[in-house]
Amino acid sequence: MVKIGASILSADFGNLNEEIKKAEEAGVDFFHVDIMDGHFVPNISIGIGIAKDIKKIAKLPVDAHLMVENPDQFIDEFKGMDYITFHIEAVKFPFRTIKKIREIGAEPIVALNPATSLSSVGYILGEVHAVLIMTVEPGFSGQKFIPIMTKKIEKLKDIIANNGYDTKIFVDGGINVETAPLAVKAGADVLIAASAIFGKEDIKKAVKDLRESALK
Ligand code: DX5
Ligand code: ZN
């Protein structure tokens, strides 16, 4: 069954406690926290302190999505997170980054911007928990899913299967009831959504709708 990660980027930051509880009651599988530095992406979101507070409040696992330059320098600070997602475009030595993430007890996930080729992660595919395919340009919630990303997901699924890896495929960006079935059909195992969850009045219904759409 497909898993759903709730990206808190569209949550009400003044009411994080409530928002997290609501999402947990609605049946999401984990939280996805977007960290942006205004350099790697043209936006600034939240930092390490709030990410740690979210980890304290949440009963479910937390994934920190680092959209920052030189993520290696911050990895130790994220100790306690369950998953750490780093961008292949932001690191020079991915094997070293993966090692650092494992050393603090987290599972490494490598993210690729939409135009980044799959060959950039070919040699590390067997070393990471998952590959996160960005299905929008990173930086903002509420953007439109880039349709050709389904081809990228299909290709990645093939590469993973052909090599006998156990690597999962996450998708992030523009995931809603229309695009979730396309991503899942192409091979996505995990859907991450912000506006399709926290942007909705009834979070419980939003999560249920998203889950059901993925079965189509
Ligand atoms: C975008 C972030 C996403 C974002 C998704 O840079 O990585 O996690 O919050 O937002 P939606 O689901 O609204 O596209
Ligand atoms: Zn994200």
Counting from 1 in the atom list of ligand 1, the atom nearest the Cα of 9 is 9
Q: Going by C-beta distance under 8 Å and a sequence separation of 6 or more, which residues neighbour residue 148?
A: none
Q: Is 85 exposed, middle or buried (0-12, 13-18, 19+ CB in 10 A)?
A: buried
Q: 127 alpha carbon to ligand 1 midpoint, in Å? A: 25
Radius of gyration of the chain, Cα coordinates, nearest whole angstrom: 16
* Side-chain half-sphere CA neighbours of 108 within 13 A: 24
pLDDT tens sequence across 38-80: 999 999 999 999 999 999 999 999 999 999 999 999 999 999 9
Annotated binding residues for a divalent metal cation, as ranges?
A: 32, 34, 65, 172
Counting from 1 in the atom list of ligand 1, the atom nearest the Cα of 175 is 12
pTM (whole model) above 0.95? yes
Residue ranges per structural domain of the chain:
3-214
pLDDT tens sequence across 196-215: 999 999 999 999 999 999 99
For ligand 1, atom 9, which residue shows the shortest CA distance? 141
Average pLDDT for the chain: 98
98, 122 in Cβ contact below 8 A? no
Ligand 1 within 6 A of CB of 141: yes
User: Which ligand lies nearest to the CA atom of residue 195 in the structure?
Assistant: 1
101 — pLDDT class (breaks 50, 70, 90): very high
175 — pLDDT class (breaks 50, 70, 90): very high
User: Which residues is 108 bridged to in the sheet?
Assistant: 84
- Per-residue pLDDT, 216: 83
Secondary-structure class of domain 3-214 per CATH: alpha beta
Query: Does the interface ipTM go beyond 0.95?
Result: yes
Catalytically active residues are: 34, 172
65, 108 in Cβ contact below 8 A? no
Q: Going by C-beta distance under 8 Å and a sequence separation of 6 or more, which residues neighbour residue 213?
A: 176, 177, 178, 180, 181
